[in-house]
Amino acid sequence: MEFKHEPVMLKECIKGLNIKKDGIYVDGTLGGAGHSKEILKKLSKDGKLIGIDRDQEALDAAKENLKDFSNVIYVHDNHDNIKNILEHLKIDKVDGILLDLGVSSYQLDERNRGFSYLGENELDMRMDKSQKLTAREVVNNYKEEDLANIIYQYGEERFSKRIARNICEYRKQKEIKTTKELVEIIEKSIPRKFQNDGHPAKRTFQAIRIEVNNEIKPLYDTVRNCIECLNLGGRLCIITFHSIEDRAVKNAYIDAKGKCTCPKDLPYCVCGAKSFGEIITKKPIVATDEERTRNSRSKSAKLRIFERR
């Protein structure tokens, strides 16, 4: 299947990275390489792009899309391991990092990956097919309390307890194997009058996907590690798609900026507060009305930018 993916807020990201033509840049969520292609267009032959993705299919598609460029290093890994990746490549610091979080349009469209609540497909949801944990394992083996907590925390689903209880009741009779089975359980768990805000399974599927791919727990540390990997003047651009991601990024940026906690009457700082730079976006950048109309994935997107100083 062709890897179709329109990069979200492409112009805003390129501007935000403030690209130096001979610099080293990292696309930590390479996907179909839409953002990366524009970065490479602004680099000289001495510049370099490191493209990281957990999904081997994404890497294969990116290699095809970027076949005209020779200054790309492809890495099959998780952006959470940014420090180890750069150390392995013998690169000390970089000039910019881009993270476009969440699931890609391709992964949603490729129904056999199990990310979509449309159709009937195997419960999988792995971004990296080589990992063991799948959505099927989560749905069929997690305790009811753990399921409820995941669906509430990662999906912000008000009926999380009812959904978790009904999943556990259903699986007593038979294993839940398909996305269709899970969708039917969710639909029966949510009262009709509360099913007007998008697809009723959207929040639960998001929550299970986040759990399967461990998207939230390491995110704060990943943001801090990315900032530490930047050269002075280097920038980190992160696109998020829901409040849980955005909150983690925002908090990491605030802490990286540093804030003295000493009493105001002290003549100098004794708390040891250290600043790693400045937040460029006081408020997150959102997509234009035109893009939101054209590209549905951009509707909930927020871009936050940090500069190392």
**DSSP-derived secondary structure for 181-244:** HHHHHHHHHS-GGG--SS-TTHHHHHHHHHHHHT-STTHHHHHHHHHHTEEEEEEEEEEE-SHH
Looking at the structure, do residues 153 and 294 belong to the same domain, yes or no?
Answer: no
Domain boundary among 212, 244, 273: 212
CA atoms within 13 A on the CB side of 43: 25
Q: Please identify which residue in the block is written with the tokens 């009493």.
A: 263
In a domain, 110, yes or no: no
Give pLDDT tens digits along the chain (309 positions): 455 568 999 999 999 999 999 999 999 999 989 999 999 999 999 999 999 999 999 999 999 999 999 999 999 999 999 999 999 999 999 999 999 997 776 676 677 799 999 889 999 999 999 999 999 999 999 999 999 999 999 999 999 999 999 999 999 999 999 999 999 999 999 998 888 878 999 999 999 999 999 999 999 999 999 999 999 999 999 999 999 999 999 999 999 999 777 888 888 878 777 899 999 999 999 999 999 999 888 999 999 999 999
Going along 10-55, which residue ranges are E strands? 24-27, 48-53
207 and 220 co-located in one domain: no
132: domain range? 123-212
Q: 250: closest CA among 215, 288, 285?
A: 285
Residue 115 lies in a domain: no
Assign residue 134 the CATH number of its domain.
1.10.150.170
Together in a domain, 33 and 46:
yes
- The answer to whether residues 241 and 102 touch, using CB atoms and an 8 Å cutoff, is yes
**Which tokens is 137 given?**
């394992």
Domain count for the chain: 2
Residue that the structure tokens 């501007």 belong to:
15
Same domain, 79 and 128: no
CATH number, domain of 246, equals 3.40.50.150
